[in-house]
Structure 1
C-alpha cells in the first residue's frame, strides 16, 4: 500500500514539475479535454494537487501512525479533499478573477475624459483618444454642442451612438482650465 502512496506523491510531483517546465505545450495539447466536465474544481491543477496530497498524506500516515489500511486511505482522501478546496479558493479562483481584459463596452464611455487627436468640426467628425487601464483607444467623435474643437483639447464623452462618441469641451476657456 505504501507503494501506491509513493506513486501518487511522485506522479503528482512529476506532473507539477512538467507543468512548470513545459506547461504551455502541455496546456495546448490538453486544451479542451477538461471542458467536458465544466466544473471548476476538476481543473488539472486541482486534480494533480489532490493526487499529490493523497500520496504524501498516505506515506506519512503509514510510516508514523499505527492506523489500519482503511483508516489511512480514508484520512488521506479527506486531507486531499481539504487541500484541494484550499488550493482552489486560495490560488485558482483569485487567479481567474485577476485576469485583465483590454475590452470595453460602449456603455462605459459616457463620462470618460479624452483628448482630441483630429480636430472636430462643428458639424462633422474628428477623433479623440481615451485612456483606459489597459491602454489608449481612439474613437470617432462629433461635437455634442455643434462647436469646433481643436486638437489637444480635453473633452468629456456625453454619449455614444452607432460607433460615434459625442463630446463636449471639458473647459470652455483657458481661464477655467487654470483654475483646476
Structure 2
C-alpha cells in the first residue's frame, strides 16, 4: 500500500513537471504558476523597510517535494527493501531537504533579481543617458542608459527638436509611448 502511495506521488510530480514544461514552451509562459503569482506570494514585513518574504509554497517547490518524496520512497521500499518507517523517514527528509535547497538557492535569488532589476518608466525621468544614434531635429535617434548596472537602449527624440549628436550626454525628460524624450545636459 505504501509503495503505491510513493508511486502515485512520484508520477504526479513527474507529470506536473512535464506538463508545466510543455505548456510553458507552447504558450511561451515564463512560469506555469503565472496565474498564482500575485502579491500574495510576497508579503511586506511589519518593519516598514519594505522587506519582502517570498512564499515557499510555490507550485514548482511543491512538485519537487512530491517527486522526490515518491522517488526516494520507491527506491527505499522496492529496491533497497528497507522497512516502511525508515523509508518514510528517509523520503520525508530527502523531500524536505530538496525543497528547501530549491527554494533557498533558486527561487529566492530569482525573485530578488527580478524585483531589483525592474524599474518603472516613471522612475527613469531625470536619469542621464548617452546618445548612440544621432537625433536629428524632430526625428528619432537612440540612447543608452544604465539602471542597476544593466545597460538599456531606447528610441529617443529631442524635447526641443534640436539636433543632438552621437556621444552627447542627455537627460530623460519624459517617456511617451516608449519614446524617450531627452534634452542636452
Fold equivalence (TM over 0.5) = yes
Structure 2 unmatched ranges of 5 or more = 42-53, 146-150, 176-180
Q: 1:142 to 1:156 in 2, by over 3 A?
A: farther
- Equivalent in the alignment of 2:184: 167
- Equivalent in the alignment of 1:150: 163
Deviation at 1:44, TM superposition (A): 0.9
| 1:67-82 mapped onto 2 (5 Å cutoff) | 67=83, 69-82=84-97
Answering whether residue 135 of structure 2 is matched by residue 117 of structure 1, we say yes
| 1:7-26 mapped onto 2 (5 Å cutoff) | 7-23=8-24
CA contact (8 A) 1:126 1:142 kept: no
Q: TM-score, normalised by structure 2?
A: 0.63
CA contact (8 A) 1:117 1:151 kept: yes
Q: 1:54 to 1:92 in 2, by over 3 A?
A: same
Deviation at 1:96, TM superposition (A): 3.9
| 2: CA distance, partners of 1:19 / 1:167 | 49
Aligned residues: 154
Deviation at 1:7, TM superposition (A): 0.7
| 2: CA distance, partners of 1:127 / 1:141 | 11
Answering whether residue 58 of structure 2 is matched by residue 43 of structure 1, we say yes
Match of 2:35 among 29, 32, 38: 32
CA contact (8 A) 1:129 1:138 kept: yes
**RMSD in angstroms over aligned alpha carbons?**
3.6
SS at match of 1:118: coil
| 2: CA distance, partners of 1:35 / 1:13 | 25
Worse overlay, 97-106 or 72-81: 97-106
Structure number with bigger Rg? 1
